[in-house]
Structure 1
Amino acid sequence: MHRVKAIAVLAAMTLPLPAPAQVAPYADLAALGEALFFDPALSANRTQSCATCHDPATGFADPRGAASPGDDGVSLGDRNAPSAAYAAFAPAFHRKENGRFAGGQFWDGRAAGLEEQAGGPPLNPIEMGMPDKAAVVARLRENPAYVDGFGRLFGTGTLEDETAGYQAMTAALAAFERTPEFSPFDSKYDRYLRGEVELSRDEELGRLLFFSQQFTNCNQCHQLQRSAVDPQETFTNYEFHNIGTPENAELRGMNGIAAGTVDEGLLANPGVDGAAERGKFKVPSLRNVAVTGPYMHNGVFQDLRTVVLFYNKYNTKNPERLVNPETGAPFGPAPVPDTLSMEELTAGPALDDQRIDAIVAFLKTLTDARYEPLLGD
């Protein structure tokens, strides 16, 4: 009896095993979005993907300079590519009860959310340079895996319709940007909140200064949650302010925009009207700020310490503290002086070098773990 069972078992072992189940490519919306994010075929000359200007190796920002070169190899914009990290937490563009605009994507908030933002660069002539949505969807149809993936996720024939296909593409990209890949909340600061590490003396001083209502104005614009220890603090209130960022003359010299031409900022948003909004830009998140320079909407500052010194200029009368250390000359004038957020900019006393260095040290603790090697010493 036992011998018969043994023969049956051996026979079963020699039978061919069933083929493994076939896993459909891009069965997950975020996985499809990830493929699209890194695909240069979505640009006119097939040289540029979303990741080109939002490099995951450098905090989803563009390390190549103050503004990103276009797919045509010639075009150069006038604004710095903001980091796409933590962008999913920005609320839709809206007007707050206090009358201020907030939220949206891009420096002027002109895209209400991630989906709308994702649809912008492929069609921008100085970015990815595709002529229209139909051309983008035609590129998607070139890839059999996309045809299969879009069909499974959005319905058969989605890529046969340019409007539906383009909308599906932006939905997939947005789904990828909402994954923990972009927003891991695992910086030293996050680990400190969880009790896993301690901050250094300088980092702790910087933290206290940052959240202070007496010594700095940092958290007036760079704090969203009511609690200073909220585990999902994005370090921006998503409002729009004019802080007097000087013109980037070097960038203007390269992109051919005449010196003195004012970037209208928030007023360039089609949904905004009124001279009071001129020259205002969205307050960016400070997460990964230490590794995502250059800084400001036009990339005018290279070093994070220079940014803190620039803010400090509004509270000091010492002429030596009004000098940009990167140029050796005084900080340039505000392009739109009439709409400066003076109440926020002048809150608090002038800071000495120790306190400036401490704030920089704290800002470095907001760096996601994967980018900490970029901090160096």
Structure 2
Amino acid sequence: MQIRLVVAAMLCMAAMSQSRAAPEPGPDGSNLNPVQLHRPPVAPLSAVAQIGRAIFHDRSLSASGRQSCASCHSPDHAYGPPDDADVALGGAALNIPGVRAVPSLMYLEREPAFSIGPDAGEVEDTSLAQKVSLAKGAARATKIADTAAASANLVPQGGLFWDGRADTLQKQALVPLLNPLEMANRSEAEVAAKLRAAPYTAQLVQIFGPTVLKQPGLLLAEAMFAVARYQFEDASFHPYSSKFDAWLEGHAKLSAAELRGWRLFNDPARANCAGCHVDQVTDSRPPLFTDHQFEALGAPRNPAILANRDPHYVDLGICGPIRTDLRAQTQYCGMFLTPTLRNSARRSVFFHNGVFHTLREVMDFYNFRDVAPDRAVPHRRGETLAVLSDLPARDRANLDRQDPPFDRHPGQAPAMSTQDEDDIIAFLHTLSDAAPADGSTGEAGSVAPAGH
């Protein structure tokens, strides 16, 4: 069984025409054009999803016996990293650092499958290679916050992980179990043996039949299907309960700083955050604050990552080294998936390599990368950081130098003042989800018998 992620609207003009009127702030910070947002339905977890919840929190499935999915994707931290470590530790002894920052698992229910171009999922008989060929040489529209023109860009979009290499939650769930830097099982058979010994095995058999225990591949497929159902069904993965959601619906007021930040967020000549982190309501669905596309931004090389001690090791995102099917497509080297900004204020690790630890550092990078590079990187004792230091010279043509605020040059004024950055950060805090009314955080619970 495969769970296909619900294909997201790719911000085409037709979808934009179906959007409701843009929010209009009132003098008291209210929204004068409220909308009714359509959220995913909330219901008790199915029996399959209950098993998935148990698997998600099961440390015994790791080689160390001390790491579960929830260890890195903490329910108390927006299903992202529970601390400010640049990368998580994994391996058989839980002492091997990874190579990328832990992404959040929230708001993936509308992530489209990986594709090249705006027609993800529409042309089933077009191979990825054909789409890459069509994209070569295509003119790229500038992405700005007040237009959908960039939706026509034939660029990589969709998928899971920083490089988009998994198309379904089911496939994504399996990867950490077999990654030697994460849960570090040596084979699918080893994972299957642990599943057969788990306390929820009887429920697996009730739902999928006794044959499931005899075929390791089938057992893993059904177990990962259960994890995917848990992520899809449990409202804690997509509550849309932020202050900004409440403001869109007319139930909250934004402060003066938050309103200034929202306006800057959508200002195509200045911050232009919404050019990639789209905040428009389409078809009454809450905005995801991502366009699902990939960008090469030139984040500095992170010396805290052990693999980076090898000068020949370079993480180039879509074109390797972890993803292998697009290694030859060098026009995508250095590109990583644009994440949602929902709950970004609750994180302490930013960008694919965890090199930034505060929203201020992130804002400084965007503001100063092209006008004053030395001010664009954090200055930490014992570390030498520089923009573009993790992107080989041969791949720097892929760098985004077109979309504001990256359309400036050394010596020009930055797009934002310090006050502007403060205001945008204030706005980003409105994207943090409210705590569940019942105090729950998606923690593991008992598994009900199948059919209950």
Residue in 1 that maps onto 2:115: 94
Q: Is the 8 A contact 1:249 1:259 kept in 2?
A: no
Match of 2:417 among 338, 349, 352: 352
In 1, Cα distance between equivalents of 2:177 and 2:374? 45
Residue in 2 that maps onto 1:169: 223
Match of 2:345 among 284, 290, 293: 290
In 2, Cα distance between equivalents of 1:362 and 1:328? 33
Match of 2:87 among 67, 72, 80: 67
Number of residues of Structure 1 aligned to a counterpart in Structure 2: 343
The TM-score with structure 2 as length reference comes to 0.71
1:341 paired with 2:397, answer no
Shift of 1:157: 2.3
In 1, Cα distance between equivalents of 2:382 and 2:406? 24
Match of 1:367 among 423, 432, 443: 432
Cα 1:323–1:95 shift into 2, 3 Å? closer
Q: Is the 8 A contact 2:258 2:427 kept in 1?
A: yes
Q: RMSD in angstroms over aligned alpha carbons? A: 2.5
Q: Is the 8 A contact 1:247 1:300 kept in 2?
A: yes
The TM-score with structure 1 as length reference comes to 0.84
Query: Bigger relative contact order, structure 1 or 2, given CA contacts below 8 A and separation 6+?
Result: 2
Shift of 1:193: 1.1
In 1, Cα distance between equivalents of 2:345 and 2:369? 22
Residue in 2 that maps onto 1:44: 63
Shift of 1:226: 6.4
Q: Is the 8 A contact 1:323 1:330 kept in 2?
A: no
Residue in 2 that maps onto 1:55: 74
Residue in 2 that maps onto 1:324: 378
In 2, Cα distance between equivalents of 1:289 and 1:260? 32
> Does 34-43 or 231-240 show the bigger shift?
231-240
Structure 1 counterpart SS, 2:422? helix
Q: Which has the larger radius of gyration?
A: 1
Residue in 2 that maps onto 1:265: 317
Q: How does 1:248-263 map to 2 (within 5 A)?
A: 248-252=302-306, 257-259=309-311, 261-263=313-315
In 2, Cα distance between equivalents of 1:190 and 1:293? 23
- Which structure carries more helix by proportion? 1
Q: Which runs of 5+ in 2 are unaligned?
A: 1-44, 119-152, 409-413, 440-452
Deviating beyond 6 angstroms after TM superposition, the runs of 4 or more aligned structure 1 residues are 327-330
1:30 paired with 2:49, answer yes
Shift of 1:231: 4.3
Q: Which runs of 5+ in 1 are unaligned?
A: 1-25
Shift of 1:293: 2.0
Structure 1 counterpart SS, 2:299? coil
